[in-house]
Amino acid sequence: MKDIAENKLSDYILVEKVLGGDTHAFSVIISNTERLVAQIIFKMIANEEDKRDIAQDVYLKAFQKLGSFKFQAKLSTWIGHIAYNACCNHLEKKKMVLVNNTYNNDGTDDELLESLNNNKNLDNETEGLFFKSELSQILKVEIDKLSPLYKTLITLFHTEELSYAEIEQITELPEGTIKSYLFRARKTLKENLLKNYKREEL
């Protein structure tokens, strides 16, 4: 019963407990956030040993920086941001591509935004296909073929059901860029599904 009660403590109380020397409270933070952290790391990083090393590094950094947490976002989102940055830094060191295209700093992609505005049916159809296949092994296989950022955004938005604002806090990408990338990711995913599988398999 004690663990259940502690899991319901607010972020503020948990942080205050950790800063006061309560190591068990940090274990609760890990328990509350490890699913999100794992989703980010496992979608962005391929090597198993690297995944473990990054996960350890993420929580070490979170512990060290906890005193600077300003409660402007949820604690889970803040730690998710640390995980995302750690993965980006790792990919950069390995000279690996985060996403297969570029974007403008203001999140504006005229061609894509025109496509978003003029092709709502395509987006709705893609969305329907995604949710229809959400738990299928086929979908998981095809998602894993996407670039690291596409995989991560699809997972955060559809699996973790985070809002655009929360994803923006994690990735520091403008909302327009997030929407653009999600559109491209779903479009690519749909095209690959229809190319590689018969409709009745989906």
Give the sign of the dihedral formed by CA 88, CA 51, CA 132, CA 193: positive
Q: Which token pair is 129?
A: 């296909």
Q: Find, among 77, 71, 75, 74, the residue nearest to 25 by Cα.
A: 75
Number of domains composing the chain: 2
User: Do 70 and 114 belong to one domain?
Assistant: no
Q: Find, among 171, 177, 178, the residue nearest to 86 by Cα.
A: 171
The tens digit of pLDDT for each residue in 26-54 reads: 999 999 999 999 999 999 999 999 999 99
CA angle 137-131-164, nearest 5°? 115
Q: Which token pair is 128?
A: 């329907």
How far is Cα 33 from Cα 15, in angstroms, rounded to an integer? 13
User: Do 177 and 142 belong to one domain?
Assistant: yes
- pTM value is 0.79
* Residue 128 domain-assigned (yes or no): yes
How much of the chain, in percent, has pLDDT values that exceed 90? Answer: 59
What b/e readout covers 63-90, taking b as 16+ CB neighbours within 10 angstroms? eeebeebeeebbbbbbbbbbbbbbbbeb
The tens digit of pLDDT for each residue in 106-125 reads: 444 444 444 444 444 445 55
Domain coverage including residue 123: 110-201
CA atoms within 13 A on the CB side of 12: 3
User: Do 84 and 131 belong to one domain?
Assistant: no
What single-letter amino acid sits at 19? L
